[in-house]
Chains A and B, each alone.
Chain A
Amino acid sequence: MKPKGWKDLTPGGGVILEAGNADEYNTGSWRAFRPEWKEENCIQCLFCWVFCPDSAVITKDGKMTGFDYKHCKGCGVCAYECPGKKGQKAIVMVEEGK
């Protein structure tokens, strides 16, 4: 997309008239560590969904099904909060590129 010039900005001070357009911003590109879901250790407590600051935990019918890697910044709070099963985490952070 060609960046807008100053005359093309919405009148007023930096107002964004399109609701919910943060969805278009690929914050996933900031990520250094990637959360990976180990379904076998998941007890579906949804702590990850509650704590995720970027709404990047995908759920279906009330169950965790994976991550939205377009928006996940890799903060790791999901992995930290994950209780796992029998001492085994259901979310682990893996360095990008490895």
Chain B
Amino acid sequence: MAKAVAVTGNQAVAEALRQIDPDVCAAYPITPSTEIMQRFAAFVADGDVNTILVTVESEHSAMSACIGAAAAGGRVVTATSSQGLALMWEMLYIASGMRFPILMALVNRALSAPINIHGDHSDGMGARDAGWIQLYSENAQEAYDNTIQALRIAEHMDIRLPIMTCMDGFIISHSIERMEYLKDEEVKDFIGEYKALNPLLDIDNPKTIGALVLPDYFMEHKKAQADAMGKVKAVVLDVAERFGKLSGRSYGLFEDYRLGDADITLVIMGSAAGTAKDVIDDLRNRGIKAGLLKPRLFRPFPYEEIADALKGVKAICVMDRADSSGGYGPLFMEISSALIHIKERPVMINKVYGLGGRDFLPEHAETVLNELAEIANTGKAKTFKEYITVRE
């Protein structure tokens, strides 16, 4: 029998990390992910885990220490947010290029300036090209479940890539929800023993890592890395299936909600998807064929599968909780790319919402869906990209 609890998202992720009991954790506290490390540090201090906790002086050093520990041959975790992730930037590419399956709990928060501590996806989207796998969560349960599944994905011998499990700052990280924990031994069995690949601490077999690679071999290394990324989707589905048997909760590459016969659809990621689903239900009760698609795996992006799921929809609004200044929102760009090969494409619009923690309420979802209904009728959109819930 699973244990039902009422906890914050941060507490749930800290509990997952305790159950994982990693070899090394190097972290520097930053709002809103601080509570994860605060609680995990207590587990270390109380002897509840065997982890070596490295308290460093910056996030750049945190990721550097994680890379060193992973190179040595350890199972490694960390957590951060916003400016912290931004400060890790150059080390993120080194972690992925050196193929270390480091697990990072990313509590999404806006990037400065103006300085803000609340949730949006700017930090995660800024790291989308860094070679890390990214999973996004809608609530505390998903954040917990994704944290446990993440290790099996990242550590798979065909993959060996670092992974970020993302949840919205404050909205998930600091809100108390009812959710279920797995038992310690269930988690232990599920993640299994860590298998190091060419660890430096295997001192009988000296080796070189991080060597210079010049134009004659650089593209071969990058191709091998890209090929591993290409295998992630299948591993995510396989891990999700096994996790489903264990927990009774099913996961895929994305969630399709009442999408089968939908004329109008929202594509929306993270906590706001939960809000939007209620509105979809209301519209369905009124006979409007509305649906929703919530991406879970953002890197690698499941283009073909999402294109398949969105086939036949007349109008789509992609909701971005981050902006690519001067471009469309990052999620919109991916959905557009996914649909480019479809012959009968839906009309697509892009709304930027929720920046810096701005509330996303059911009425906002309803306004967007009403606009979509009109577009589905006329086949024409008035504006392709727009900020919503912003004062004139």
Q: Which residues of A are in contact with B by a Cβ distance under 8 Å?
A: 3-7, 9-19, 21
Of B98, B157, B205, B217, the contact of A13 (CB 8 Å cutoff): B98
Determine whether the beta carbon of B221 is less than 8 Å from that of A6. yes
Q: How far is the CB of B313 from chain A (nearest CB, A)?
A: 38
Of all chain A residues, the one with the shortest Cβ separation from B220 is A6
Q: How far is the CB of B4 from chain A (nearest CB, A)?
A: 41
| B contact residues around A15 at 8 Å (CB) | 198, 207-209
Of all chain A residues, the one with the shortest Cβ separation from B196 is A12
Of A7, A9, A13, the contact of B97 (CB 8 Å cutoff): A13
Of A14, A18, A21, the contact of B221 (CB 8 Å cutoff): A14
Of all chain B residues, the one with the shortest Cβ separation from A10 is B198
Helix, strand, loop or mixed for chain B's interface? loop
Determine whether the beta carbon of A5 is less than 8 Å from that of B160. no
Determine whether the beta carbon of B220 is less than 8 Å from that of A19. no
Give the docked Cα–Cα distance between A18 and B97 (Å): 20
Q: Which residues of B are in contact with A by a Cβ distance under 8 Å?
A: 97-100, 157, 160, 197-198, 205-211, 213, 216-217, 219-221, 223-225, 227
Determine whether the beta carbon of B220 is less than 8 Å from that of A17. no
Determine whether the beta carbon of A17 is less than 8 Å from that of B99. no
Determine whether the beta carbon of A14 is less than 8 Å from that of B198. no
Determine whether the beta carbon of B99 is less than 8 Å from that of A3. no
- Whether A12 contacts B213 in the complex (CB less than 8 A), given A6-B220, A19-B206, comes out as no
Give the docked Cα–Cα distance between A17 and B205 (Å): 8
Determine whether the beta carbon of B100 is less than 8 Å from that of A16. no
Give the docked Cα–Cα distance between A19 and B202 (Å): 13
Determine whether the beta carbon of B197 is less than 8 Å from that of A12. yes
Most B CB within 10 A of own CB, among A5, A6, A7, A10: A6
Give the docked Cα–Cα distance between A18 and B211 (Å): 12
| A contact residues around B100 at 8 Å (CB) | 13
Q: How far is the CB of A22 from chain B (nearest CB, A)?
A: 8
Determine whether the beta carbon of A16 is less than 8 Å from that of B227. no
Give the docked Cα–Cα distance between A9 and B198 (Å): 13
